[in-house]
Structures are given as structure tokens and as C-alpha cells.
């Protein structure tokens, strides 16, 4: 069964973000459920950096989505902006720092720390590994679940987009402990959490450096969104471990993906691709050189460089 992924260039002809969100949804033929009481938007606030760095979901984009939802459902529907704490990040700081506390007040929506939510314990088997997950119940119980990831590269997984953003929804804050099985954990959480809609923030994307791509992506299938996102970021999706695992777990099929709206090349040509292999090699070599030099010269390695 075909699944659409739409690509929309925002801000052209002076259109507002809200109009472009509506356009992205029209292109995939998305129909909102007729009656909902609760809507949860999972943000991508991995750290304290402003949206202009390409690391975190832009509040202006979220604001446009809220406005669109209010038009459809009115003021009575409860909208929650959700994020979980992470190994190095506390939502009690990211919400105010990144402008979400202000946005929540302005738009009369709630902020939800998923790490403080009631959880459902799950154990998922992926690629022979059993992955234990604490899944926030709010995400499982909401009437409409919207995933709003950033489009960015990440050394450990090559790309970070819709599927990886759901990894960020795991309630347990010390998610760094999952890193030895990162691909498997990403797939595991994606077998449990199924957003109704993914709306990717590619307004400012992050490659080797941040770049204004002015891109909105929409899709209902999380795997399909990431398969497309990988191509925009210059990767061969079939070379990305978690996407390969996702195919095995029947989370999606590349042959079913239908890209609508703008062409992938319209964005990939401007994306500053990152060679993860070279970047990791460079980092590893640097540390090896420093360690070797330190032994020969009897010099100090600053602990902040050495602490692995």
C-alpha cells in the first residue's frame, strides 16, 4: 500500500507557515480524526540549543501547527507539547530556554515532561536483542499523536528524524545507556509508538553546519518519512542500520513510498552533507595522537578531552 511523504518549500510567494502546513497535509491526503479530546505533539528538544542551530524544533513551526489544529478542532481540545528528559537535558530548562513556556501560555496549550508521565513497561525483541522500554502512557492514549522531529545528521545513527525522535520519547532519562544498541532501540520504540502524523521541521536543518532549507515534510508512516529524509541529507537509506532493521520488523517498505510536492533534489542540493565515517575517524585519530604524544612527551591530556 502506497504511503505519501510530502515536501513543501515554505515561505514562497509570501505564504504563512500555517498555509504551508495545510498544504503539506493536503498533499499526503491526511484526514484528521473527526472528534478528538487530546492531542500530543512530540517535540525534538534534545538539548538547549536554539532552533537556529538546526538542533531543536522551531516554536514558530509548532505555533503554526497549533493554529491549524485550533481551526479544525476549536479551542476546547487539549493540546500538549511533549518531550522527555535526556541524559544531558532537563525539560524544565529546555521548555523556557527554547521559548515553549511562552508559546504554551500564548496558545493555551500544556507542556508535558514525558519522564514524569505514567509509563507502560514494554520488552521488545529486535535483531535478537531484548529491549526494555518505559513508554509514556500519554503517547499511547492520546487521540491524535503528532511527531515533530528536526531534520539533522547524527554521528551515531547518520540521520536523526522521525524515528529517532520517538527514541527521545522514552521516559527513562539516561538514554545514553541504550547507545550500544541504538539502532535496535530506535526500532523497538517505533514498534510501540505509532504517531498519526509526522511533521518534520526542516526550516533550519543540520548537516556539517546549519542550513535554512525552508522545508516542511509530512507523512503518516514514520519509516517512510525517515527513508525520504535520509536522501535529502545525502545518505543512501539502505545503508542506515536502523532503517534496515525497521524493514525487517515490517515498519515500512521503501517500494511503497511516494514523494509528493517538491522533489528531493530541490533540498538535497543545498544540504551540507556530513561524512560521518571521516568525522568519527578524525575524532578517534585525534584522541589516539594525543594519547600517543602524551606518553612520549610526558605531557598532560585535559580530562575534558580524555573522559570517555
- Which residues are at the interface with another protein (CB under 8 A)? 47-50, 53, 55, 85-90, 93, 96-97, 99, 101-102, 176, 293, 296-304, 307-308
Find the shortest distance in angstroms from Cβ 293 to another protein.
Answer: 5
Angle at CA of residue 223, ends 113 and 182, nearest 5°: 60
Q: Which is nearer to another protein, 172 or 223 (CB)?
A: 172
Residue 197: name the closest of 42, 45, 81, 72 by CA. 42
Identify whether the C-beta of residue 246 lies closer than 8 Å to the C-beta of residue 223. Answer: yes
Q: What is d(CA 23, CA 64) in angstroms, rounded to the nearest whole number?
A: 12
Per-position DSSP letters for 5-28, written without gaps between them: EEEEETTGGG--HHHHHHHHHHHH
By CB atoms closer than 10 A (0-12, 13-18, 19+), residue 220 is middle
d(CA 228, CA 254) in angstroms, rounded, equals 9
Least Å from the CB of residue 158 to another protein:
19
To the nearest whole angstrom, how small is the minimum distance from the Cβ of residue 206 to another protein? 10
Q: Whole-number minimum distance, CB 298 to another protein, in Å?
A: 6
Considering beta carbons, is residue 2 or 285 the nearer one to another protein?
Answer: 285
Q: How does DSSP classify residue 179?
A: G
Cβ-in-10-Å burial (0-12, 13-18, 19+) of 109 comes to buried
How far, in whole angstroms, is CA 201 from its chain's centroid? Answer: 9
Residue 136 cell numbers, joined: 509514556
Q: Which residue, 174 or 248, has its beta carbon nearer to another protein?
A: 174
Q: Which is nearer to another protein, 263 or 282 (CB)?
A: 282
Least separation in angstroms between residue 190's CB and another protein is 22
Please identify, using beta-carbon distances, which residue of 30 and 48 lies nearer to another protein: 48
Residue 303 C-beta: closest distance to another protein, Å: 4
Closest contact distance (angstroms) between CB of 147 and another protein is 23
Gap between the Cα atoms of 171 and 300, Å rounded? 39
CB of 300 to another protein, least distance (A): 5
CB-wise, 29 or 284, nearer to another protein?
A: 284
Q: How many CB atoms lie within 10 A of CB 217?
A: 28
Judged by CB, which is closer to another protein: 29, or 292? 292
Q: Which is nearer to another protein, 101 or 120 (CB)?
A: 101
- Give, in order, the Cα–Cα distances in Å from 233 to each of 12, 64, 104, 272: 22, 25, 31, 8
Amino acid at each position: 500500500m502506497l504511503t505519501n511523504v510530502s515536501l513543501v518549500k515554505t515561505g514562497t510567494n509570501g505564504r504563512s507557515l500555517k498555509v504551508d502546513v495545510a498544504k503539506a497535509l493536503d498533499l499526503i491526503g491526511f484526514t484528521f480524526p473527526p472528534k478528538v479530546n487530546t492531542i500530543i505533539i512530540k517535540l525534538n528538544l534534545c538539548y538547549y540549543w536554539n532552533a537556529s542551530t538546526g538542533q531543536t524544533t522551531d516554536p514558530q513551526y509548532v505555533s503554526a501547527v497549533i493554529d491549524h489544529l485550533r481551526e479544525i478542532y476549536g479551542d476546547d481540545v487539549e493540546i500538549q507539547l511533549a518531550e522527555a528528559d535526556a541524559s544531558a537535558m532537563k525539560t524544565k530548562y529546555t521548555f523556557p530556554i527554547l521559548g515553549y513556556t511562552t508559546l504554551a501560555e500564548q496558545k493555551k496549550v500544556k507542556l508535558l515532561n514525558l519522564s514524569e508521565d505514567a509509563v507502560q513497561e514494554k520488552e521488545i525483541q529486535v535483531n535478537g536483542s531484548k529491549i526494555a522500554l518505559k513508554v509514556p502512557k500519554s503517547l499511547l492514549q492520546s487521540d491524535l499523536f503528532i511527531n515533530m522531529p528536526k531534520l539533522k545528521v547524527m554521528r551515531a545513527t547518520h540521520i536523526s528524524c522521525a524515528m529517532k525522535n520517538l527514541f527521545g520519547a522514552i521516559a527513562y532519562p539516561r538514554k545514553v545507556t541504550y547507545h550500544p544498541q541504538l539502532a535496535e532501540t530506535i526500532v523497538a520504540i517505533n514498534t510501540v509508538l505509532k504517531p498519526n502524523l509526522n511533521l518534520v521541521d526542516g526550516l533550519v536543518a543540520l548537516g556539517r553546519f546549519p542550513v535554512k532549507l525552508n522545508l516542511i515534510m509530512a507523512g503518516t508512516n514514520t519509516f517512510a518519512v525517515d527513508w525520504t529524509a535520509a536522501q535529502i541529507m545525502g545518505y543512501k537509506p539502505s545503508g542506515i542500520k536502523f532503517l534496515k532493521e525497521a524493514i525487517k520488523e515490517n515498519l515500512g517498505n521503501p517500494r511503497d513510498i511516494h514523494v509528493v510536492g517538491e522533489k528531493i533534489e530541490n533540498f538535497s542540493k543545498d544540504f551540507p552533507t556530513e561524512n560521518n565515517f571521516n568525522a568519527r575517524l578524525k575524532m578517534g585519530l585525534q584522541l589516539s595522537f594525543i594519547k600517543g604524544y602524551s606518553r612520549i612527551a610526558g605531557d598532560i591530556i585535559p580530562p575534558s578531552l580524555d573522559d570517555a
